[in-house]
């Protein structure tokens, strides 16, 4: 049996072509901007880009999960339109997502049968099993067939997912960051397998932000930046440095030039870098910290660093390299495996968040809806989250002093210029910027020794983002320690006195921002220690 896609491939040189694809989301975000791309049989294409560059959106359009706003997808026989992933699968396009769509209590055989909508009756299962065993023999991908998949290692689960897609006889296989959950050995196995598939004439798209992987396996590399296609080159013709430049922007050394380039979102540098000289005593001391992840056993590897009073210590890097786990471990939300972390010499590992706050930690969380706010709560109720047991807000018998709380909120509204009808307004009625100001106000009202700010300006408009940044700088200037984690490279570079670049749970390097060229940063973010 041969799929429709395979027949077409023989007649023409390409399998699928995206023409002028643009995707605008309902909220106005332009995720993909006029991208034209050709995918050919027997070729592995690396799709490279930073967070939010549009990689995932583009592949979702190719695999039928999302319709494009403009543009079309063409096969040699004419335009194709997929109403659903199933139609794309029937055409021969399969995608393996970062998060697996497996039923945990089912075995591999049952999961594959389920994806074929076959009944889970013994006869049908036997047929599925036979097919799977043949596929495993051909592909070299081995998985236990009779164990519930939740009992398998993550790498094995991924293989089940890949087998599931392969069992549909796909011609184009799209893998979204497949190596992020794998051990190095598993990565090698996966790559060997992908090469074999290429040999069979399949077309493969590998979404990644790791330069090493691009060099190791791809034939061609497509680079996206801010939704636009900025490079489509043969891997052999390009250096890692060039790719890093393409990924993070033009090679510009001086801050002035950068300001010109980022005309829409200019971030004034906070001149006080000289303050590094005046930086105070150590506040946060981390040594040998190892933290587990949700899907991988270790997300943060043996990390050591210090943050001093009066400095902003920035952590840059592509998201998902352990930054969130690091912050969670430091704020009591995630237990650490090894190492120590102290604030002013007092241990914080193993404490609950409230105890850590009491030691002078303020935490501006990366996700204000999930962590930072209780959206149906009022401003007043949100303004005491985490400090609701402090004596100024809580009287005898645990009774809340609403009068004092409201006065406190009114002062926050005034000081942080929060646009709201009053302390009784629900937090969800605020704009994103005002919500973030409320969180920042709440955290700074703790008069902390250290502010741990994670993605503090994400999703905010230019004005609100700048306001938040100004406040962080002001706190720094008033002698507070600030740990800033941001995926926005410009932000980290502009604000930080020292920058660490994080990759796969480790710091690739720590330096003052002006010591780092952009291409070097791009290399480090891509895991290449030039």
Partner 1 sequence: MREGRLLRGVHRTHTGVHPALESVLAAILGLLVGAVIMLLWGYDPWQAYWALLKGAFGGFGYEIPTSVARGVPLILTALTFSICLRAGMFNIGAEGQMYVGAAAAVTVAYLRLPYPWHLLVGVLLAAAAGAIWSLGPALLKLTRGVSEVISTIMFNWISRFLVFYLVAYVLVDPRQAQRTVRIPFSARFPILVPGTDLSAAVYMALGFALLVYFLLWHTAVGYEVRAAGLNPTAARYGGISIRRTVLLSFALGGVAAGLAGAATTMGLPPTYAIISGLPDLMNLGFDGMAVAMVGRNHPIGILFAALFFGGLNAGGRVMQFYGENPVPLEMVRVVMGTIVLAMAIPELVRIFPALVRAGRALVRRAGPAQGEEA
Residue 398 as a binder of partner 1 (CB under 8 A): the answer is: yes
CB of 184 or CB of 397, closer to partner 1: 397
Q: Which of 370, 403, 447, 478 binds partner 1 (CB under 8 A)?
A: 370
Least Å distance, CB 514 to partner 1, is 33
Residue closest to 173 by CA, chosen among 18, 19, 43: 43
Residue closest to 309 by CA, chosen among 497, 498, 500, 476: 476
β-pair partners for 306: 285
Residue 222 as a binder of partner 1 (CB under 8 A): the answer is: no
CB of 252 or CB of 333, closer to partner 1: 333
Q: Which of 357, 467, 503, 507 binds partner 1 (CB under 8 A)?
A: 357
Q: Are 207 and 179 in contact (CB under 8 A)?
A: no
Least Å distance, CB 294 to partner 1, is 8
Q: Select from 210-218, 230-238, 249-257, 325-333 the region that touches partner 1 (CB under 8 A).
A: 325-333
Tell me the three state secondary structure of residue 163: helix
Interface with partner 1 in residues 109-168 (CB under 8 A):
149-150, 157
Question: What does the per-residue mask of binding to partner 1 show for 226-255, with x meaning CB under 8 A?
Answer: ------------------------------
Residue 38 as a binder of partner 1 (CB under 8 A): the answer is: no
Residue closest to 245 by CA, chosen among 31, 527, 59, 517: 517
Interface with partner 1 in residues 171-200 (CB under 8 A):
176
Residue 386 as a binder of partner 1 (CB under 8 A): the answer is: yes
Residue closest to 451 by CA, chosen among 361, 369, 374: 361
Q: Which of 352, 417, 461, 514 binds partner 1 (CB under 8 A)?
A: 352
Residue 67 as a binder of partner 1 (CB under 8 A): the answer is: no
Q: Is 425 exposed, middle or buried (0-12, 13-18, 19+ CB in 10 A)?
A: middle
- Quote the CA–CA distance of 478 and 464 in Å, as a whole number: 21
Tell me the three state secondary structure of residue 306: strand
Q: Select from 234-242, 252-260, 276-284, 369-377 the region that touches partner 1 (CB under 8 A).
A: 369-377
In sequence order, which ranges of 249-352 are alpha helices (DSSP H)?
Answer: 255-261, 323-330
Q: Select from 11-19, 270-278, 282-290, 355-363 the region that touches partner 1 (CB under 8 A).
A: 355-363
Q: Are 88 and 60 in contact (CB under 8 A)?
A: no
CB of 163 or CB of 473, closer to partner 1: 163
Q: Which of 270, 363, 476, 518 binds partner 1 (CB under 8 A)?
A: 363
Which pairs count as long-range contacts for 376-379, CB under 8 Å and 24+ apart, including other chains? 376/426, 376/427, 376/428, 377/426, 377/427, 378/423, 378/424, 378/425, 378/426, 378/427, 379/409, 379/413, 379/418, 379/420, 379/422, 379/423, 379/424, 379/425, 379/426, 379/427, 379/430, 379/438
Residue 100 as a binder of partner 1 (CB under 8 A): the answer is: yes
Residue 515 as a binder of partner 1 (CB under 8 A): the answer is: no
**CA–CA distances in Å: residue 152 to residues 241, 292, 477:** 38, 18, 51
Q: Which of 276, 375, 449, 511 binds partner 1 (CB under 8 A)?
A: 375
Least Å distance, CB 406 to partner 1, is 12
Q: Which of 11, 78, 83, 99 binds partner 1 (CB under 8 A)?
A: 99
Residue 298 as a binder of partner 1 (CB under 8 A): the answer is: no
N residues, the chain: 530
Q: Select from 217-225, 305-313, 347-355, 463-471 the region that touches partner 1 (CB under 8 A).
A: 347-355
Size of the site for partner 1 (CB under 8 A): 53
Tell me the three state secondary structure of residue 397: helix
- Strand intervals (E) in 29-88: 30-39, 43-48, 70-75, 78-80
- Residue 381: both structure tokens together: 């109720």
Tell me the three state secondary structure of residue 351: coil
Q: Which of 12, 79, 101, 265 binds partner 1 (CB under 8 A)?
A: 101
Q: Which residue has the tokens 């996966």?
A: 190
Residue 377 as a binder of partner 1 (CB under 8 A): the answer is: yes
Q: Which of 144, 281, 422, 424 binds partner 1 (CB under 8 A)?
A: 424
CB of 453 or CB of 495, closer to partner 1: 453
Q: Select from 213-221, 381-389, 501-509, 512-520 the region that touches partner 1 (CB under 8 A).
A: 381-389
Q: Which of 102, 222, 329, 460 binds partner 1 (CB under 8 A)?
A: 102
Q: Which of 15, 46, 50, 56 binds partner 1 (CB under 8 A)?
A: 56
- Residue 484: both structure tokens together: 């800033």
- Quote the CA–CA distance of 481 and 478 in Å, as a whole number: 9
* Site residues, partner 1 (CB under 8 A): 25, 29, 31, 52, 56-57, 97-105, 149-150, 157, 176, 295, 331-333, 352-355, 357, 363, 365, 370-377, 381, 384-386, 388-389, 393-394, 397-400, 402, 424, 426
């Amino acid at each position: 049996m041969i799929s429709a896609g395979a027949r077409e491939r023989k007649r023409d040189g390409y399998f699928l072509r995206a023409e002028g694809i643009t995707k605008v989301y309902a909220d106005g975000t332009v995720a993909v901007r006029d991208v034209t791309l050709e995918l050919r049989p027997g070729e592995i294409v690396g799709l490279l880009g930073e967070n939010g560059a549009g990689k995932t959106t583009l592949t979702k359009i190719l695999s039928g999960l999302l319709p494009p706003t403009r543009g079309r997808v063409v096969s040699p026989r004419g335009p194709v339109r997929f109403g659903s992933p199933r139609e794309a699968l029937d055409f021969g396009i399969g995608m393996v997502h970062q998060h697996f769509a497996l039923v945990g209590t089912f075995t591999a055989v049952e999961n594959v049968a389920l994806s074929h909508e076959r009944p889970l009756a013994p006869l049908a299962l036997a047929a599925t099993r036979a097919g799977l065993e043949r596929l495993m023999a051909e592909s070299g991908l081995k998985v236990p067939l009779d164990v519930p998949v939740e009992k398998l290692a993550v790498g094995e689960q991924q293989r089940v997912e890949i087998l599931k897609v392969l069992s549909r006889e796909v011609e184009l296989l799209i893998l979204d960051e497949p190596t992020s959950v794998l051990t190095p050995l598993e990565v090698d196995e996966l790559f060997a397998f992908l090469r074999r598939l290429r040999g069979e004439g399949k077309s493969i798209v590998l979404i990644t932000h790791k330069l090493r992987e691009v060099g190791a396996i791809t034939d061609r590399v497509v680079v996206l930046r801010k939704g636009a296609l900025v490079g489509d080159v043969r891997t052999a013709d390009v250096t890692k440095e060039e790719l890093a430049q393409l990924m993070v922007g033009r090679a510009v050394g001086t801050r002035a030039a950068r300001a010109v380039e980022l005309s829409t979102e200019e971030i004034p540098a906070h001149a006080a870098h000289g303050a590094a000289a005046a930086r105070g005593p150590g506040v946060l001391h981390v040594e040998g910290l190892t933290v587990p992840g949700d899907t991988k056993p270790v997300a943060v590897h043996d990390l050591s660093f210090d943050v001093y009073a009066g400095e902003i210590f920035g952590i840059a890097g592509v998201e998902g390299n352990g930054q969130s786990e690091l912050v969670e471990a430091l704020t009591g939300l995630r237990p650490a495996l090894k190492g120590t972390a102290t604030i002013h010499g007092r241990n914080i590992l193993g404490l609950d968040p409230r105890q850590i706050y009491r030691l002078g930690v303020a935490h501006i969380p990366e996700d204000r809806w999930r962590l930072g706010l209780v959206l149906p709560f009022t401003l007043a109720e949100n303004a005491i989250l985490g400090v609701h047991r402090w004596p100024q807000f809580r009287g005898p018998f645990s009774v809340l002093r609403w009068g004092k709380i409201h006065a406190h909120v009114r002062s926050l509204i005034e000081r942080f210029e929060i646009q709201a009808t009053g302390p009784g307004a629900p937090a969800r009625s605020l704009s994103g910027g005002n919500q973030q100001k409320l969180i920042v106000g709440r955290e700074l009202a703790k008069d902390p020794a250290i502010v741990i700010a994670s993605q503090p300006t994400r999703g905010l408009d230019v004005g609100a983002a700048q306001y938040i940044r100004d406040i962080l700088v002001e706190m720094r200037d008033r002698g507070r320690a600030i740990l800033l984690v941001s995926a926005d490279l410009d932000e980290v570079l502009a604000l930080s006195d020292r920058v660490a670049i994080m990759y796969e749970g480790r710091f690739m390097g720590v330096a003052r921002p002006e010591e780092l060229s952009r291409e070097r940063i791009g290399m480090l973010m891509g895991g290449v220690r030039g």
